[in-house]
A and B are shown apart, each in its own frame.
Chain A
Amino acid sequence: MNPWDLTLNLKDVVLDFTYLSLFLIIGTIIRRYGPFFQRYLIPNNIIGGFLGLLLGPQMLRLFSLHSDRLGQYVYHLLALTFIVLGLRQSKTAFGKGPVSKCFIELSCYILQAMVGVLVAFGFIYTIQPDLFAGIGFLLPLGFGMGPGIAYTMGHSWEKFGLEGGGQIGLTFAVIGFLIAYFAGIVIVNRGIRNRETTLVAGPESITNDIRTGVIKDNPPEIAGLLTLAPEAIEPMAFQVGLIGVIYLATYGLIFILTSLMARHGLGEFVDTLWSFHFIIALLIAVAARKILDLTRQSYVIDKGLMNRISGVCVDFLVVGSVAAINITIIGKFWLPITLMSLIAGFGTYHIIRYTARRAFDDYHFERFVGIFGEMTGTINSGLVLIRVTDPQFSSPAAEDLAYGGGLALFLGFPLLILLNAPMVFFHNSLAGYWLTLLIVVVYGALLWLVWRLIGYIHFKPPDGKNRAATIRQGGV
């Protein structure tokens, strides 16, 4: 079946988006006036999402949001953000900073996958033998990667017997978000108290504008540039149009591939390919960008406007994801989900703390909190946490975080396929999961070997605190 097909009333789509808009605006107001949300720098989209969950059909029943439809929006918005990522062409650097950051991220994914599936095994071999073991693999998707990917993959696993897979993925993503902000801010505050930060900064150094979310004190920054003449076409419409064309090509390519697969007896992989559509969208976008670069036409793409569009997609994606969480499903799986999240949260904390000190030369703490934010929430959460310790972005931590993204995606691709292996290749058998777990561990070991061989990590603990202190005294 083509997962794009969902018969609905256009009125519902229009109203859904106006509801999501309403939640986003109320979220903005709450952030603007709520000291609690300002303290933990909770982004407006998460506040908006929880509002949607509260006012939606599962609790107060004021708004008729349907999670099937919300799932569709999340699925499409995810691919659209990846297209922007490809068209915008964020520069990738291969220095020690970005490369090490990317290795740490992969280690996190692998650790989270291991924790997830081991906890699931713990349940299966004892009290809950009918638990779907793949639930554990949703942990790295929800924590490390993000709500869109977690939903899309989880949804495609429903076919293999994971009840409410998409919803569970969203739940992990939301728990990850909460860890990113609440634990993240606590970690940052403790780090500042223990003088672990390189730059003398603290929560007070965050400007009022960042805290409240509205720019009032400082002059607003430029949103982007008009790369086309408005007399001919609205430049924003051109950027959106370009994204639409890439998406059309994505659909066309997947449609051809799935038809070919169905004809050659590979029909069972069709659904998996549809759930990987965001990767295909990214690849086509990167190719299109390359072509535009080579033909010297890429000046029509404005990075600022593209950032705006991707920001809109992400904000609506997050509101939609949180609002789409199914409370019944959570009730059913609350114990494994809680256990997995707790252990994975601690594991992620310690692995990043361990590696950040050994794999970076400077700004260990700033890099640590940035990656921790990203590996539980999204890249945006990481950037927010760095902002607290380094309000001016004067350290390379923020830049490395953004640059490492492309590389991590590339190295994470085999992992993403691997996580699908037990369902797609081993008919969801426990042996398949054990085998996959083994391969994941081997992949992790290989990564660490490469990492050590290129000399970007040393296993002896450096004297990090002193170093931070020296830099501080040197007056950075």
Chain B
Amino acid sequence: MNLWEFSMSFKDIVMDMCFLSLFLILGTIGRRYGLFFQRYLIPNNLIAGFIGLLAGPQLLRLVPLDGERMGVYVYHLLALTFVAIGLRGEKTSWGKGPLSFSLAMLSSYIIQAVIGLLVCFAFVYTTRPDLFPGLGLLLPMGFGMGPGQAFTIGSSWEKFGFAGGGMAGLTIAAVGYLIAYFAGMVIINRGIKTGKTALIDGLESITQDMRTGVVKQGDKQIAGFLTLSLEAIEPLAFQVALIGVVYLVSYWFAKGIALLLVRIGGGGFLSTVWAFHFVLALLVALVFRKILDKTKKSYLIDPGLMTRTAGLFVDYLIVGSICGISLAVVWKYWAPILCMSVLGGIGTYYLLKYICSRAFDDYHFERFSAIFAEMTGTLNSGLVMIRVTDPEFKTPVAEDLVYSSGIALFFGLPLLILLNVPMNFFNNSRPGYWITFGLMLLYLLILWIFWRLIGFIKFKKPTSAK
């Protein structure tokens, strides 16, 4: 299935965006006045997504949304987010903090994939022999990576017989989100009670502005700078147009690869190429950024405005991805998804708890709560947790987390390809899944040996938790 070809009325696009906007504004009001949401710091886009799901055609039928259309928006917004991130020029640092973080993330992806696959095998060999085992491989995408990836890769597997694959991915991502915030806040509350937090003694450190989501008391921060003159062009339009150009080039790039594959007889990989287009988009963006850096033109890119644009894409992506969840698909897969999510959540929790006390020198609890939230939700969920435990970003945790995401992406690429192996190379056969399973464990082993060899992790339990 090529997600680019999608016939629709232009009116639907405009109306869909308007409805997503409406949900986002309602979500903002929900967060502003809803004490429940404030307690768990649920972001507005998550509230908005569930409002959309409720108001949509599957439940209250107030709003004519369509899951397929939402899917296409998620697909494009995902790539656009990656383009903005690539152009913004994320600094990467290879110190112990970021590197250990990214290895911890990789380990979580693999553990989640292993748990997902094992749960699915349990169903396949007992009650549901017709279950598509690849469902389990969506767990690391939905939990660890994010809704965009989960949907995109999931829908590319529909071709291999995975009915409702994209929707299943979105569902897993939504469950991951809920775990990130609800379990995340419970973990922090318990950490405060047992005195594990290094900086805070209670939750009162969260400012009112952050709790309600509107900046009323504190000083408003600067959104960005105007790097071009308004007489010539709106600086934000320049940033948006730059994203557009990179997207155009990545489309040509993906199309070129697709044409080449067809010519050499690899037509079976087409949907995988189109599913990986966000990776291509990121690569093209990084190359553009490098060229602009080298030619000393990158002063035109304002990191603030790029962050605004990326944030805009992410907010609409998340609202759209939750609105797009198909309850029929949820109903179809509820038992495996539930088992996977519970076991995956617990597995991620213990794995990260084990790692964090051994692979970091300081702020173990802060690091643990942040990476747990990122590995179930997104990077933003992790940053929210850090905001709670370290309100003024005094520790290096937030910085390390942001830096590590770039490295994890780099290490994660082989894994992402690996997750596609059973469908693309083994015709979706069970031995193929077992081979992938073995390869993942091998990859994990290699990563851990590397980790131990560079001395960033010690397997002895440290004597005192800081």
- A364 CB to closest chain B CB (Å) equals 23
Interface string of A208-230 (1 = CB under 8 A from B): 01101111100011111111111
- B226→A241 contact, CB < 8 A: no
- A308→B7 contact, CB < 8 A: no
Residues of B within 8 A of A299 (CB): 214, 216
Residues of A within 8 A of B7 (CB): 7-10
- A225→B221 contact, CB < 8 A: yes
- B222→A226 contact, CB < 8 A: yes
Count residues of B near A (Cβ-Cβ below 8 Å): 79
Residues of B within 8 A of A6 (CB): 9-11
- A224→B223 contact, CB < 8 A: yes
- B221→A8 contact, CB < 8 A: no
Q: Which residue of A lies closest to B314 (CB)?
A: A234
Contact partner of B228 (CB less than 8 A), chosen from A20, A28, A232, is A28
Q: Is the C-beta of A248 less than 8 angstroms from some C-beta in chain B?
A: yes
Which of these binds chain B: A39-47, A93-101, A116-124, A419-427?
A39-47
Q: Is the C-beta of A329 less than 8 angstroms from some C-beta in chain B?
A: no
Which residues of chain B (339-375) have a CB below 8 Å from chain A? none
Residues of B within 8 A of A17 (CB): 244
Which residues of chain A (263-318) have a CB below 8 Å from chain B? 299-300, 302, 304-305, 308-309, 311-312, 314-316
- A233→B43 contact, CB < 8 A: yes
Say whether, besides A11-B6, A384-B231, A76 and B14 are in contact (CB < 8 Å).
Answer: yes
Contact partner of B241 (CB less than 8 A), chosen from A9, A24, A76, A230, is A24
Which residues of chain B (386-429) have a CB below 8 Å from chain A? 387
Say whether, besides A11-B6, A220-B225, A245-B21, A311 and B234 are in contact (CB < 8 Å).
Answer: yes
Q: Is the C-beta of A155 less than 8 angstroms from some C-beta in chain B?
A: no
- A10→B6 contact, CB < 8 A: yes
- B314→A21 contact, CB < 8 A: no
* Most chain A CB within a 10 A radius of its CB, from B17, B227, B230, B305: B230
Contact partner of A25 (CB less than 8 A), chosen from B72, B245, B387, is B245
Contact partner of A245 (CB less than 8 A), chosen from B8, B22, B231, is B22
Q: Which residue of B lies closest to A9 (CB)?
A: B7
Q: Which residue of B lies closest to A238 (CB)?
A: B28
Residues of A within 8 A of B384 (CB): 231
Q: Is the C-beta of A235 less than 8 angstroms from some C-beta in chain B?
A: yes
- A308→B235 contact, CB < 8 A: yes
- B378 CB to closest chain A CB (Å) equals 12
Q: Is the C-beta of A392 less than 8 angstroms from some C-beta in chain B?
A: no
Residues of A within 8 A of B240 (CB): 21, 312
Q: Is the C-beta of A466 less than 8 angstroms from some C-beta in chain B?
A: no
- B17→A315 contact, CB < 8 A: no
Q: Which residue of A lies closest to B244 (CB)?
A: A21
Which residues of chain B (81-108) have a CB below 8 Å from chain A? none
Q: Is the C-beta of B41 less than 8 angstroms from some C-beta in chain A?
A: yes
- B48 CB to closest chain A CB (Å) equals 9
Residues of B within 8 A of A228 (CB): 28, 213-215
Q: Which residue of A lies closest to B230 (CB)?
A: A311
- B201 CB to closest chain A CB (Å) equals 21
Residues of B within 8 A of A383 (CB): 231
Which residues of chain A (157-194) have a CB below 8 Å from chain B? none
Contact partner of B226 (CB less than 8 A), chosen from A223, A233, A302, is A223
Contact partner of A9 (CB less than 8 A), chosen from B6, B209, B220, is B6
- B212 CB to closest chain A CB (Å) equals 8
In angstroms, Cα B43 to Cα A44, docked, is: 38
Contact partner of A226 (CB less than 8 A), chosen from B11, B220, B228, B241, is B220
Residues of A within 8 A of B24 (CB): 233, 237-238, 241, 244
Q: Which residue of B lies closest to A207 (CB)?
A: B229
Contact partner of A13 (CB less than 8 A), chosen from B10, B215, B251, B316, is B10
- B312→A221 contact, CB < 8 A: no
Which residues of chain B (211-269) have a CB below 8 Å from chain A? 212-216, 220-238, 240-245, 247-248, 251
Q: Is the C-beta of A443 less than 8 angstroms from some C-beta in chain B?
A: no
Contact partner of B43 (CB less than 8 A), chosen from A76, A221, A231, is A231
Contact partner of A244 (CB less than 8 A), chosen from B8, B21, B232, is B21
Q: Which residue of B lies closest to A69 (CB)?
A: B10
Residues of B within 8 A of A242 (CB): 21, 25
- A229→B223 contact, CB < 8 A: no
Count residues of A near B (Cβ-Cβ below 8 Å): 81
Residues of B within 8 A of A367 (CB): none
- B18→A20 contact, CB < 8 A: no
- A309→B236 contact, CB < 8 A: yes
Contact partner of A231 (CB less than 8 A), chosen from B11, B17, B72, B387, is B387
Say whether, besides A10-B4, A223-B304, A304 and B234 are in contact (CB < 8 Å).
Answer: no
Say whether, besides A22-B244, A237-B312, A220 and B226 are in contact (CB < 8 Å).
Answer: yes
- A21→B232 contact, CB < 8 A: no
* Most chain B CB within a 10 A radius of its CB, from A19, A44, A227, A243: A44
Q: Is the C-beta of A333 less than 8 angstroms from some C-beta in chain B?
A: no
Residues of A within 8 A of B302 (CB): 220, 223
Say whether, besides A22-B244, A228-B214, A244-B22, A8 and B8 are in contact (CB < 8 Å).
Answer: yes
Q: Which residue of B lies closest to A230 (CB)?
A: B311
Residues of A within 8 A of B383 (CB): 231
Residues of A within 8 A of B154 (CB): none
Residues of A within 8 A of B228 (CB): 28, 213-215
- B221→A226 contact, CB < 8 A: yes
- B399 CB to closest chain A CB (Å) equals 16
- A215→B213 contact, CB < 8 A: no
- B308→A315 contact, CB < 8 A: no
Contact partner of A316 (CB less than 8 A), chosen from B11, B237, B251, is B237
- B5→A240 contact, CB < 8 A: no
Q: Which residue of A lies closest to B16 (CB)?
A: A244
Q: Which residue of B lies closest to A208 (CB)?
A: B229
Residues of B within 8 A of A212 (CB): 229, 232
Residues of A within 8 A of B305 (CB): 223, 308
Interface string of B19-49 (1 = CB under 8 A from A): 1111011011001000000000101110000
Residues of B within 8 A of A470 (CB): none
Q: Which residue of B lies closest to A314 (CB)?
A: B234
Interface string of B309-340 (1 = CB under 8 A from A): 10110111000000000000000000000000
Q: Is the C-beta of A476 less than 8 angstroms from some C-beta in chain B?
A: no
Residues of A within 8 A of B234 (CB): 308, 311-312, 314-315
Residues of A participating in the B interface, judged by any CB pair closer than 8 Å: 2, 4-11, 13-15, 17-22, 24-25, 27-28, 31, 41, 43-45, 69, 72, 76, 209-210, 212-216, 220-238, 240-245, 247-248, 251, 299-300, 302, 304-305, 308-309, 311-312, 314-316, 380, 383-384, 387
Instruction: List 20 contacting pairs A-B, 8 Å CB cutoff, sorted by A.
Output: A4-B11, A7-B7, A7-B9, A10-B4, A22-B248, A27-B233, A31-B233, A210-B229, A213-B232, A213-B233, A216-B299, A220-B225, A224-B223, A227-B215, A229-B210, A231-B210, A232-B210, A233-B45, A237-B315, A247-B18
Assuming A214-B227, A227-B215, what are 14 further A-B pairs, CB within 8 angstroms?
A: A8-B7, A10-B13, A21-B248, A24-B237, A214-B229, A231-B210, A231-B383, A242-B21, A244-B24, A244-B25, A248-B15, A302-B223, A315-B234, A380-B231
